[in-house]
Each structure stands twice: as C-alpha cells, then as structure tokens.
C-alpha cells in the first residue's frame, strides 16, 4: 500500500512550489542538544461533531520528503496520497483524540491537552523538545517552541497536520454512513449550510458536541443537551420552546 501511495502523489501545483516548510527550527533544536523533536498540530477544534484530533511526529534528521506542505494548502486527494509517505518517512508518529463526549465534559482547552498527551504518549519515545503550531501551549512540555503559522514553516508541524487531518477525515467519512443527510463525508462535522439545515430538520446526532451554543437554536430531538460544565441535562420540548422564545 505504501509503494502505491508514493506513486499516486499528484504533480505539485505551481502555486505550492515556493511554499515548502523547512527544518530550520528542528535543526536549531537538534544542534542545541534536543535529539527527539516532536512536531504537533491539531484539527477539529472548530467542528460541531466528531473528535478533536492531534498529530505528533518525529521526523528523521537525514532525509527530506518531497511535496510536503501544510495540510490546508493541499486538496483531499493530495493529503491522502501524502499520508502513507509521511508515515513511512517518520522516525515515529502517533495520533491522539479527544472524543465529542470529552470535548463536552472537559471543555475544549482540557480536551486539547488530553488529546496532545495521548498523541505524545503514543510515540513511544520521550520528547526532548516540541514544535507547536499557534500561540497557545496546550502540550505543557518544558521545552515547547510555539510557531505562528508553524504548519507552513516547519516540516514537522506540516507533517503532523496531514497525519491528523487525514485520520480525522477518514473517521468522519465513516460516520457519514451512520448519519445520512449531514454530509459528514464532505463537511467533516464543521459548520456549513447543509449541516445547519440537517440540524434544523433532524436535530443533533449522538456524535455532536452538545455543550456548544449551536444547540440553543435547533429543535429538541431527545438527545441530551449538555450545558457548559458538562453535567447532562435533559430538556422537554416545552422547556426548549420556552428557552427559545
């Protein structure tokens, strides 16, 4: 399967040829004595349904990978084609999830920390340093370097972004079979007109994040509503009508 994926990688589009992420931040950490540098990125934080997913990867020092880009710059077929190449190239890689229930019960910040811990623990090696996309350290490692737009400048973060995105997208495509009408295979649980219309027509599915504010404007469907803080609360249709009135 890996060899087939390598051959299937599409020709790099012209718009992407000058935007390759590099290893300058990784090299700086390696030269300072950090042997195991972990790149981390997350996907699914803004979704209404499904898990929050974090990718973690340790890239090799002596080998590069062609066509690596930030996952947001690539099309879905391009990301899928890169997934196996990255998995084979990596020195170690892992995916950590926080379920939709954990996102509700813990809150998004704590859920993000939990998913990050699971991803790092799954590597099987101790991290000497961490490269993290964004401005907020949800990892808590004593040597974390946060990079704004890190997925476009760090090869480690870009690779982690593809691993996380492809893994979560595959999970949401599988969920689409159980919940027809929500177009999870296309929107992956994120807000869009079709997703909003399905919520209005059918109410939330069991994999929706029930503590989020979007729940306040949809008809009651019998699925428990979780208020902020995570304690399950069942509304009757009359209570819901009064709350929306």
CATH of the domain at 164: 3.30.420.10
Calculate mean pLDDT across residues 121-126: 97
Give the phi and the psi of residue 95 in degrees, each rounded to 5.
-125, 135
Domain of residue 26 covers 2-176
Chain mean pLDDT for the chain: 85
pLDDT: is 144 or 9 the higher one?
144
pLDDT: is 220 or 99 the higher one?
99
What is residue 241's predicted lDDT score, i.e. its pLDDT? 29
What is residue 70's predicted lDDT score, i.e. its pLDDT? 84
Where does the pLDDT of residue 18 fall: very low under 50, low under 70, confident under 90, or very high at 90 and above? low
| Bridge partners of residue 57, in order along the sequence | 39, 93
Pair 214, 125 in one domain: no
| Bridge partners of residue 92, in order along the sequence | 58
Pair 118, 234 in one domain: no
Find out whether 55 and 40 touch, Cβ atoms under 8 Å.
yes
Pair 35, 96 in one domain: yes
What is residue 66's predicted lDDT score, i.e. its pLDDT? 82
Calculate mean pLDDT across residues 147-151: 92
Pair 32, 103 in one domain: yes
Question: Per-residue pLDDT for 216 more than 90?
Answer: no
pTM: 0.83
Pair 44, 97 in one domain: yes
Pair 101, 172 in one domain: yes
- The domain tally of the chain equals 2
Question: Per-residue pLDDT for 174 more than 80?
Answer: yes
Where does the pLDDT of residue 10 fall: very low under 50, low under 70, confident under 90, or very high at 90 and above? low
Pair 26, 122 in one domain: yes
Where does the pLDDT of residue 72 fall: very low under 50, low under 70, confident under 90, or very high at 90 and above? confident
Question: Cα dihedral angle (85, 126, 164, 153), rounded to 10 degrees?
Answer: -80
CA angle 212, 135, 141 (to 5 degrees): 100
Pair 83, 137 in one domain: yes
Where does the pLDDT of residue 112 fall: very low under 50, low under 70, confident under 90, or very high at 90 and above? very high
DSSP-derived secondary structure letter, 93: E
Find out whether 68 and 21 touch, Cβ atoms under 8 Å.
yes
pLDDT: is 58 or 244 the higher one?
58
Pair 172, 226 in one domain: no
């Amino acid at each position: 399967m890996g060899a087939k994926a390598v051959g299937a990688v599409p020709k790099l589009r012209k718009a992407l040829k000058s935007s390759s992420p590099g290893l300058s931040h990784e090299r700086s950490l390696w030269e300072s004595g950090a042997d195991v540098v972990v790149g981390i990125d997350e996907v699914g934080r803004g979704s209404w349904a499904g898990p929050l997913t974090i990718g973690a990867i340790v890239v090799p020092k002596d080998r590069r990978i062609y066509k690596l880009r930030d996952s947001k710059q690539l099309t879905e077929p391009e990301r899928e084609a890169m997934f196996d190449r990255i998995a084979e190239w990596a020195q170690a890689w892992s995916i950590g999830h926080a379920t939709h229930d954990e996102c509700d019960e813990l809150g998004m910040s704590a859920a993000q920390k939990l998913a990050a811990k699971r991803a790092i623990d799954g590597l099987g090696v101790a991290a000497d340093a961490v490269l993290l996309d964004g401005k907020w350290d949800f990892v808590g490692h004593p040597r974390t370097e946060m990079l704004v737009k890190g997925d476009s400048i760090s090869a480690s973060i870009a690779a982690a972004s593809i691993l996380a995105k492809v893994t979560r997208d595959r999970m949401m495509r599988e969920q689409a079979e159980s919940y027809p009408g929500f177009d999870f295979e296309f929107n992956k649980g994120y807000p869009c007109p079709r997703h909003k219309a399905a919520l209005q027509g059918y109410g939330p599915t069991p994999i929706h994040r029930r503590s989020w504010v979007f729940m306040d404007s949809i008809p009651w469907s019998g699925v428990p509503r979780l208020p902020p803080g995570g304690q399950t609360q069942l509304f009757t249709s009359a209570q819901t009508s009064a709350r929306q009135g």
